[in-house]
Structure 1
Amino acid sequence: MIWDLFVLISYFILVFYFGFHFAKNNQKEEDFYLAKKEIHWGFLLLSLVATETSSLTFLSIPSLSFKGDYRFLEIAFGYVIGRTIVALYLLPSYFSGNTISVYEYVGNRFGKSPQKTISFVFTISRLLGDGIRLYISSLPIAFLLERMGLEFSPEVLGMIALTTLSIVTIIYSVVGGFRAIVFTDVLQWFIYVFGGIFALGLLIYKLDIPFTTGFAELKTLGKINLFVFDYLPEGDNSYFILFALIGGAFISIGSHGTDLMLVQRVIATKNLVSGQKILIGSGIVVFFQFVLFLFIGSLLYLFYEGQTMAPDKVFSQFIVNEVPSPLLGILVAAILASAMSTLSSTINSLSLTWARDWEMDKWFSPKALSLFFGFTLFVSSLIPYFLIQTWEKGLLEMGLTIFSYTLGPSIAVFFLARGKADLPVSGSVFSTFFLASIFTTVAFGLGFKLSFTLLIPIGFGTLVFLVQISRVFLKKN
């Protein structure tokens, strides 16, 4: 156990080194948020993958194949389609001007009101969604503290883990800025991929059965099914092939085309071609990451066959209970890496949008804004403690659902901005349409219990419909 703590402390020291090493390069706002666009696109690609690969991916993707099969890969196929659309259609517009925040592009087309509204929605959805990510990343640390003999309740141990994780992430994000975050992301990507491969190898070793035997058993149990062609009139159709592909594409268009945290890594490169390489390449890398973590979940099912396990916690428990020291410290560091890469990026992007879209840079420095949003994100991570016992779906679907309520209208905003036609209404009315589309999506989602893969197309269609019907109505009058 001492060696595990030594590994974790060494990891934290290395993260601090990156933060303080790059602190001297943050003299101006563009340095702090885009690193002067000097970073090679390959590093930005890995940073993008690390940012979107949160602890939800590391810990919850295995839960999907543990309790089900490989149907989540349908959505991953949709991710690649969606990123390609963004790379070819939306991205050229982002490189046509000299903007730091992608929401400035909306402001240039439609005015300040829509710019601030979409920035505000981004802020709320990020705080809620990434609060879940911070929560789940604290679980293995809490398990580790419990294994060390600390006699506190799981809630108290979780608070200790959350506090530690938040403090470390806030410090290197505030001190080092975007450049430190990117290169720390790259380091963390290698750490958590190594952690995943090691966990897979350990499971194969502990199962001690021929691959063909394990594969045959999983196939017999229906655990390796990939495509879902059967539509259920009364059931959950999240992974019906058509809905999954469309939903995955829309999720990716929304996240990588309209979400500042992820788009920031794309527009931080020098030119459009490099940005397109980052987008499409990241989709391919993420797909194979999903394959790795889903395979881990399948083997976990064989390892714990016959035992009652909470799917969202099964990988955490395996790591803490089955991995020997000091390799346990390496795997916990891998979980921290997947969490911290997302959280640091969230802090930086929230600081950016409020500095530029809300013009708070007139009164506050980038570091002051980053510090504020780091603390706010920590507070939001406490919310799952009050929700998790009553939420029927897994944590991954919970996080995707939160973002799905807002991504559809956000995509519509950028597609309308990309078009040549001007708005038929004022910017403030358009902002009202945007918010109404979100509330409509929430109402449809909760009222009809729709799958998260359908929420984004509904939000997209609602905002486009409101704009078009107002255009027709105003022409008649």
Structure 2
Amino acid sequence: MKLLDLIVFFVYMGGITVYGSSFYKKDKTVSEFTIGDSKFPSWVVTMSIFATFVSSISFLALPATAFSSNWNAFVFSLSLPIASVIAVKYFVPIYRKINSPSAYAYLETKFGLWARVYVSMCYLLTQIMRIGTILYLLALPVNAMFGWDIITIIIITGLTVTIYSLLGGIEAVMWTDAIQGIVLIGGAVLCLLFLWFAMPEGPAQTFKIAIEHQKFSLGSFDISLTESTFWVVFIYGIFINLQNFGIDQNYVQRYIASSSEKEAKKSAFWGGMMYLPVSLIFFLIGTSLFAYYEVFPTELPSEIGSASDKVFPFFIANKLPSGFTGILIASIFAAGMSTISTSINSSATVILYDYFQRFSSNKIFTEKSSIKILYIVSLILGIIGITIGIAMINVKSALDAWWKLASVFSGGMLGLFLLGAFVEKIERKGAIWGVIVGIIIILYMSISPLVFTEDSNKQYASSLHHYLTIVFGTMSIFIVGFLSTVLFKSK
């Protein structure tokens, strides 16, 4: 344990916590807590969207994937421009017009209350799992660096982020996001440069070894729905990214927090596009780690090499110069903490508007009672996320687990939004049947491979790749809802 690294790490953690908490105000209004009275500068919103998208899932799991496999997962990033353009053109204007802090109030105007509840519940389940996954990934480098207990790290980190998210509201979240976005980009670039110039023959040797082992492969271009081909990941990326930028409360809340529709569109587009080059850096780090340990194989313990999620944290803790390690750890925490704080704030906003205020017999909540609800819910969400993070410890691949969970919990919710946005008059019963069909398909594709494991029963299990769960769930909802509208349109 290097003293300088320890100082850098704790200065960052303490500084970001104090800075976020400084936005606490005794008489804070609900509008200030949830959308900051829509007074944020455009660059802050842009950096906040970017930092929300980049988490420790990106910072640690993407290099792990590139180290153990190839660049097939990078295809996910290549789908971002398509999703960003669609979201900017069609979805941002809808939310600015509705002007509700909750993204899901829109669905009630199109389909009724059931749609608002269904989608908001799917969102909350996704965010809880996301918080837990990120807390687990944040604990790995600190465990490698200091040898501290992973459970203890998860608890301390979760409580730290929860405190400043709770005290400062959306202002604390977005301003710390902006700082954390800058820190994580700088840390990733520094690490990549160090890896390249640590090679005996310089950066060229990294690319030579990577090419020899086909590490830059984007996957097979075959037309197959059973394997993780280029096309499967690309299609999956379009649907997930469209769900993120088009219907996710984390992003919609930032569109509303922007000072105007024009600024919201600009922030949505550039906040998404920034991820493309940064994810490229993450994959280059993973590939460079592979090349480095090909040249120095004795420096990587076998138990670390077999667990790809731990390779990057091991390198950070053992190979970077004093001071650099602290910066990298701070960068990883910057990536994770920004996403966790966003999930806590946005989820608390959804629970207040979509449940407490919507179902209360007393429709008018006072500012004091609403703020109290936001504080309590934020604390509870942080505790639940910590519990999930501890449960993630025995998961083999965090990235693979997160993508599976995201597909299941999203529940094809994108299909309802597409129906609302692109079909003017919807047959509501048809939309309900669409959701039922979509859920059945999602459950079958997710659970049948786990149930039908015996050789005699394997023919009953879904053979489609699990990335396609959200694709078929979304398509079934849209198609069934659309056909119901066309065929059974009321007189």
Counterparts of 1:76-475 in structure 2, within 5 Å, are 76-146=77-147, 157-226=149-218, 228-232=220-224, 236=227, 238-240=228-230, 242-305=231-294, 306=297, 308=302, 309=305, 310-360=307-357, 362=365, 364-386=372-394, 388-389=395-396, 394-407=397-410, 409-425=412-428, 430=431, 433-434=434-435, 436-445=437-446, 446=449, 447-471=461-485, 474=488
Amino acid at match of 2:376: A
Give the AA of the match of 2:262. Answer: V
On the 8 A contact 1:251/1:407 being kept in 2, the answer is no
Cα RMSD after superposing both structures = 2.4
SS at 2:390 equivalent: coil
Does the CA contact (< 8 Å) of 2:434 and 2:479 recur in 1? Answer: no
Tell me the secondary structure at the aligned position of residue 214 of structure 2. coil
How many Å separate the matches in 1 of 2:134 and 2:183?
18
Give yes or no for contact 1:404–1:455 (8 Å, CA) kept in 2: yes
**C-alpha distance 432-357 of structure 1, shift in aligned 2 (>3 A):** farther
| 1:102-150 CA distance string (max 9 Å, x none) | 111112222222111211111112112331121111111122231xxx6
What is the Cα deviation at residue 466 of structure 1? 3.1
Q: How far apart are residue 42 of structure 1 and its match?
A: 1.3
Q: Which amino acid aligns with 2:399?
A: L
Q: What is the Cα deviation at residue 246 of structure 1?
A: 2.2
Q: Structure 1 residues 77 and 366, CA, compared in 2 at 3 Å: closer, same or farther?
A: same
- Alpha-carbon offset, residue 476 of structure 1: 9.9
Cα deviation 1:376-429 (Å, max 9, x = unaligned): 21122122135x15xxxx321221221123446211111112245443235xx8
- Tell me what 1:51 maps to: 52
CA distance in 2, matches of 1:169, 1:476: 51
Q: One-letter code of the match for 1:72?
A: A
TM-score by length of 2: 0.87
Q: Deviations over 1:193-220 (max 9, x none)?
A: 1111111122123223133333222212
1:76 to partner: Cα distance: 1.1
Give 5+ residue unaligned stretches, structure 1.
Answer: 151-156
TM-superposition CA deviations, 1:56-77 (whole Å, max 9, x none) = 1000111122122223332211
Aligned residues of 1:7 and 1:326 also touching (Cα < 8 A): yes
The range that moved more, 320-329 or 113-122, is: 320-329
Secondary structure, in 3 states, of the residue corresponding to 1:46? helix
State whether residues 26 and 176 of structure 1, in contact with CA within 8 Å, keep that contact through their aligned partners in structure 2: no
Contact residue 18 and residue 176 of structure 1 kept, 8 A: no
Q: Tell whether the 8 Å contact from 2:55 to 2:336 is kept in structure 1 after alignment.
A: yes
Q: 1:224 to 1:25 in 2, by over 3 A?
A: farther
Q: CA deviation at 1:190?
A: 1.4
- Contact kept in structure 2, 1:19 and 1:176, CA below 8 Å: yes
What's the CA shift for 1:19? 2.0
AA aligned to 2:337 is M
Q: How far apart in 1 are the matches of 2:52 and 2:110?
A: 29
Please say if residues 433 and 481 of structure 2, whose CA atoms lie closer than 8 Å, have aligned partners that are also in contact. no
Deviation of 1:12 after TM superposition, in Å, equals: 2.1
What corresponds to 2:452 in structure 1?
Answer: none
Contact 1:50 1:188 in 2 (8 A): yes
Tell me the equivalent position of 2:360: none
Contact 2:126 2:410 survives alignment (8 Å): no
* Cα distance between partner residues in 2 of 1:397 and 1:347: 23
Question: Which residue number corresponds to residue 38 of structure 2?
Answer: 37
- For the residues of structure 2 that align with 1:395 and 1:200, how far apart are their CA atoms? 22
Q: How many residues align?
A: 458
Q: Is the 8 A contact 1:133 1:339 kept in 2?
A: yes
Once residues 213 and 158 of structure 1 are traced to their aligned partners in structure 2, the CA distance between those partners, rounded to angstroms, is 35
Q: Is the 8 A contact 1:61 1:293 kept in 2?
A: yes
Structure-1-length-normalised TM-score: 0.89
Query: Percent of counterpart pairs with the same letter?
Result: 24
Change (3 A) 1:376 1:436: farther
| 1:457 CA displacement | 1.9
Residues 413 and 26 (structure 1 numbering): CA distance in 2 closer, same or farther, change over 3 Å? farther
Distance 1:23 1:436, change over 3 A: farther
2:97 is paired with a residue whose SS is coil
Structure 2 Cα separation of the partners of residues 293 and 197 of structure 1? 9
- TM-aligned CA distance change 1:129 to 1:167, over 3 Å: closer
Q: Which amino acid aligns with 2:479?
A: F
